[in-house]
Amino acid sequence: MINNRLLSTPATSSTKETTNYARLCRLLIDVGNQALRDTLDAIHAPTNLHTVLAANKPTLQGLRSRRIINATQWGKLFPVIHLAVSSRDFDITLLMVLLRNLCGLPSPITGWDTLPAATDMTREADIARIKYFRNTVYAHAEQASVDDTTFNAYWQDIRDTLVRLGGDRYRAPIDKLETECMDPEIEDHYKQLLSEWKKDEDSIKDELKEIGTEIRDVKKTLHDLTAATVTNREESNDGGELSGAPH
């Protein structure tokens, strides 16, 4: 949350292009977060969320042990008063994790981490698109700048995705956000939030890669042990046959 003291500090200068980038960050963070939350709430009613989480606690504990869910997120899922749990407290990374692991949604044909086919308008495809668009926008982070032509193309694609997920009521707020005045300090705030979201996702991806490597190592070790056992058994059998053969 931005405090008044932060807003009162001198701001760095901004241009139309840097504001374009900040608008895209804000669209993905604010509206994207709400669209994912509404999607989760439509699948698991808020009044029943605590029951769903309790029933799926073993699955969630597995995700926590793999560090896909961190300690802060775990506290949001299982507060001291379980009835107080609310999707309003979930960050965008946690919402993505829950939608992929707790909602019975099939993986898009192209997977969760790539851009779905243009003809795939399923709910799970649009969830995957949000992450893809996040990566696409973040690719401009170093310059924090997007020209008007690129901005208009990105904005339309992201808006269409969010409207499909959240419903037509999303259209007017998104259109308002497209032209709403942004203070340079607020621009910096949303740029930072997008960067943090990207880092969180990259951390999860690194953990998954590490787990995959560990599994492959275990499989290789088991394979080697099995092969060694078979070889020893065959050698023992051969030795037995030789010792029992007539002279």
Q: Which among 238, 16, 27, 33 is positioned nearest to 149, based on CA atoms?
A: 16
Domain assignment of residue 233, yes or no: no
Domain assignment of residue 185, yes or no: yes
Number of domains in the chain: 1
Residue 60: domain span: 15-204
Mean pLDDT calculated for residue range 215-231: 55
Q: Which residue blocks in the chain are alpha helix, DSSP H?
A: 4-8, 16-26, 32-43, 49-55, 57-65, 71-77, 92-101, 123-138, 148-166, 171-179, 184-243
Domain assignment of residue 22, yes or no: yes
- In percent, how much of the chain has pLDDT > 70? 77
What span, in angstroms and rounded, lies between the C-alpha atoms of 198 and 130?
Answer: 12
Domain assignment of residue 216, yes or no: no
Whole-number pLDDT of residue 223: 54
Q: Using one digit for the tens of pLDDT, what is the confidence trace for 159-168?
A: 999 999 999 9
Domain assignment of residue 215, yes or no: no
Residue type, 29: I
Look at residue 247 and tell me whether its pLDDT is greater than 50: no
Find tokens 């099995």 and name the residue: 226
Residue type, 2: I
Domain assignment of residue 246, yes or no: no
Of the chain, the end-to-end C-alpha distance in Å amounts to: 91
